[in-house]
Amino acid sequence: MKLGRRPGAFVAFVDSFTEETILKVECDYDGVDLISYRLYDSCGELVSDSDGPQSFPAGLDVSSSDGELLLHVPEGRGDAIHYRLYSLKGALLTCSDGTRTQIFGGLRLEGNKHLSGRPPDVSRIVAAAKT
């Protein structure tokens, strides 16, 4: 995932078991990238909390006490964010090195932009056909 989204766009990584938003990347209506996070390590210990959306124009690195990189926000807008997102229980939900992303059970992605190539909602098509 890269910074530099369209104004008003966002993507949120949510722990589907606790409904806690672990990471949210958004672009405000002035085009400023904002990032909010609540990062846990592989033991489920809270490592860092952003206390709401913030801009990191100089970039940001958050690592666990054992040196594992949990979040890398680059300085440049065209560069990719790297992350390893764990749940409150220490389960790995997703990770990305900027090129390859892995998604595991317990993660829900939320956003306000439809993805191209996404299949249509079949339940709506079936419901419409019955009327």
Q: Which pLDDT score is estimated for 71? A: 96
Residue 4 resides in a domain: no
* β-bridge mates for residue 2, sequence order: 80
Buried b (16+ CB within 10 A) or exposed e, 42-67: eeeeebbebeebeebeeebebbbeee
- Count of domains observed in the chain: 1
Strands across the sheet with 60-63, in order?
60-63, 69-73, 82-86, 92-96, 101-103
Is there a domain that residue 124 lies in?
yes
What pLDDT, on the 0 to 100 scale, is given for residue 58? Answer: 92
Q: Tokens 């409904």 correspond to what residue?
A: 19
Give the global pTM. Answer: 0.79
Tokens, residue 104: 């595991």
Measured distance between the N- and C-terminal CA atoms of the chain, rounded to whole angstroms: 41
Q: Is residue 5 part of a domain?
A: no
Residue 76 forms part of a structural domain: yes
**Mean pLDDT in order along the chain per 10 residues (131 residues):** 69 94 90 92 96 92 96 85 95 93 91 53 49 51
CB 9 within 8 A of CB 113: yes
Q: Is residue 125 part of a domain?
A: yes
Would residue 110 count as lying in a domain? Answer: yes
Domain span at residue 96 reads 10-130
Write down the pLDDT at residue 39: 97
